[in-house]
Amino acid sequence: MQQRIQIFDTTLRDGEQVPGCGLTKSKKLELAKHLEALGVDVIEAGFPISSPGDFQSVRLLAKEIKDASICGLSRAVKKDIECAAEALKGAARPRIHTGLGTSDQHVFTKLKMTHEEVIAKAKECVTYAKNFVDDVEFYAEDAGRTDNEFLAQVVEAAIAAGATVVNIPDTTGFCMPEVYGAKIKYLKDNVKDIDKAIISAHCHNDLGLATANSIAAIKNGAGQIECTINGIGERAGNTSLEEVVMIMKKHEWMGFETGIDSKLLYPISRMVSETMHMPVQPNKAIVGANAFSHSSGIHQDGVIKNKDNYEIIDPYEVGVNKSSIILTARSGRAALNFRLAEIGVNLSKDELEETYQQFLTMADEINVVEDDDLKHLVKNYNHVFSK
């Protein structure tokens, strides 16, 4: 029996905070509908107090999206919470996400509060939010750098006040996976009534560890992962949704599952990239342009013999039509022959050898050899091309 991990998507809030990624109301709704179809459990729609436009966006999503919880962010401030509650009116499953910083760095230099005041504020903001909605998520900002004993006290206060979810953000992306995992376990072992709330992992990618940290979190008792499509988000970004989902899928032995329809991952990745003007790096796991393309001769030969030699994911599983063999000067005869066969050209051994030598000269010059270049190479053999 697999444990169902909740997927909390924050593409439209933490992702949208990135300069240049801002969305109009209608674009937010369009993406939210795709996130709903993808099967995310929660959509963080925005930060309603931040601007009238964001308030309107959250309000629109609250009205239109029925299959996912709609969440609005707020600080631990009454007017923020009231504004979030107002924007969420009419939502089938509204959630208010409220909280404050808990690390000494945040408590003493940003909030200028005492530890006792932070605990009181945690209790107060959750209690206040509960007047408007049943589902209240509390975040302990910079939990990654917060002393575990103090963090446990804050989380305990939030749960006592009625928090249904307790978010433990590694806001600065500082933690190592074993440290973040141990933090979650510490809370599991030391917070009274911890099982009354879901523990949530919210990781940033400043050291490239957001995905590893999120997986460490669920292995130690977290029940929700906060993530974004393509890993977009503040600075180096957030945990990438497609990565954590496929890790759980590929490593079933860990005992986790999600409600995500993985065949929609690639299409939604393209859509987010285009709509939010954020290119996906070609070597990005799961959704990068090169994620399913093979370019070195050794790999190409292996994959032509049997895909499993170099593919751990069937591209179809994530919505990519098929993997590709890219022809460069590093490609071998097997790859050339394979690509020729794809355009309907079958050469004799001698013809292939001759073509291969010409191909290498061409590839050294133009780098990637495309179908039209191949047709040019074999034009003297009078073949009828199939494509």
User: Which residues contact ligand KIV by CB under 6 A?
Assistant: 14, 139, 141, 167, 169, 171, 202, 204
Q: Report d(CA 93, CA 135) in Å as an integer.
A: 8
**Least gap, CB of 101 to ligand KIV (angstroms):** 8
Closer CB to ligand KIV, residue 14 or residue 82? Answer: 14
Q: State which amino acid sits at residue 98.
A: T
Which residue do the tokens 């931040």 mark? 50
Q: Report d(CA 206, CA 373) in Å as an integer.
A: 42
Q: Report d(CA 114, CA 96) in Å as an integer.
A: 25
**Least gap, CB of 75 to ligand KIV (angstroms):** 9
**Least gap, CB of 169 to Zn ion (angstroms):** 6
Kind of pairing, strands 256-257 and 94-101? Answer: unpaired
DSSP code for 67: S
Residue 129 makes CB contacts below 8 A (sequence gap 6+) with: 74, 81, 84, 85, 96, 98, 136
Kind of pairing, strands 256-257 and 3-4? Answer: parallel
Cβ-proximal residue to Zn ion, closest one: 14
Closer CB to ligand KIV, residue 236 or residue 289? Answer: 236
Show contacts with Zn ion in window 8-67 (CB under 5 A). Answer: 14
Q: Which does 141 bind (CB under 5 to 8 A by kind): ligand KIV, Zn ion, none?
A: ligand KIV
- Output the furthest CA–CA distance in the chain (Å, rounded): 84
Q: Which does 167 bind (CB under 5 to 8 A by kind): ligand KIV, Zn ion, none?
A: ligand KIV
**Least gap, CB of 140 to ligand KIV (angstroms):** 8
Q: Does 137 bind Zn ion (CB under 5 A)?
A: no
Print the binding letters for residues 260-279 with Zn ion: x by CB under 5 A, - otherwise: --------------------
**Least gap, CB of 64 to ligand KIV (angstroms):** 24
Q: Is 276 helix (H, G, I), strand (E, B) or coil?
A: coil
Q: What are phi and psi of 83, to 5 degrees?
A: -65, -45
Show contacts with Zn ion in window 184-213 (CB under 5 A). Answer: none
Q: Which does 139 bind (CB under 5 to 8 A by kind): Zn ion, ligand KIV, none?
A: ligand KIV
Closer CB to ligand KIV, residue 46 or residue 94? Answer: 46
